[in-house]
Homo-oligomer: A and B are copies of this chain.
Amino acid sequence: MARTSPQMPVRLAQSAFALFSRRGIANVSLDQVASHAGVTKGCVYWHFQSKDELIKAACAHYYRDFHRRMNAEIAPVRDPLKRLERALRRSVRICLLDAENRVFTMDIWSLSLRDTEVRRGWQQFYDSVREFYIGLVRAAVLSGQMEVDNPERAVNLMLEAIEGIKLRAMFEPQICSPAEENEIVKSLLEILGCGKRAAKAARFGFNQQHTGEYRTP
């Protein structure tokens, strides 16, 4: 067997994800994915049965990569609250500030309408992210740095807010400009119960006449 590149499926999934995020899944052909990976379509069809398979592989790659980056982000830090804050900041950068990522997410949602597997994949990913954050919050609570009566509920509210911002950014991209990073992270921390005022204070105003801030004071 010609083991020229044992990581070829990963490379293809990476290229697929990159192009899908940039131009949308429907507007990317397998020839383009192959070309981006430095190979041809024959190679793609040797590693994957169909375009659907490649799409699912791109999703799986994104999900794995997200967790890898999150773990790498919190690994060098011991302080529970700092770990939570770093994770949040990284999540905001990946999922919100990156417009291409928002495109990919939107496409996946749209696909989920008719493809059960894609839908289940996203659900599973979402669940794992929730568990990840619940663990971080619990650790911060145990260390006495936070006071949260219901971590699961708090994390749910926070994740809801992220999705809400993502949705709103579709029509007001400026709310996800790099300059807004600190404000977004602060809001999410408040939702989790870090601020004096609880989640109710950190509502984000979807499609409100934009005043440059997304929190409703």
Contact = CB atoms under 8 A, between A and B. Distances in A.
Given A26-B26, A126-B207, A156-B208, A167 B171 contact: no
Contact of A156 (B102, B103, B113, B206): B206
A128 to B, nearest CB: 12
How often does this chain occur in the complex, in copies?
Answer: 2
B119 A171 contact: yes
A189 to B, nearest CB: 18
Contact of A113 (B106, B122, B160): B106
Interface of A is mostly: helix
Contact of A167 (B123, B167, B208): B167
A156 B216 CA distance: 11
A69 interface: no
Interface in A141-159: 153, 156-157, 159
A124 to B, nearest CB: 11
A18 to B, nearest CB: 16
Given A26-B26, A113-B103, A200-B200, A160 B171 contact: no
Given A106-B109, A112-B170, 7 more contacts: A24-B110, A106-B110, A110-B110, A119-B171, A157-B203, A159-B207, A160-B204
Interface of A: 24, 26, 102-103, 106-107, 109-110, 112-114, 119, 122-123, 126, 130, 153, 156-157, 159-160, 163-164, 167, 170-171, 199-200, 203-208, 216
24 contacts: A24-B110, A24-B114, A103-B113, A106-B110, A106-B113, A107-B110, A109-B170, A119-B171, A123-B207, A126-B171, A130-B207, A153-B208, A156-B206, A156-B207, A157-B203, A159-B206, A159-B207, A160-B164, A160-B205, A160-B207, A164-B164, A164-B206, A167-B167, A200-B200
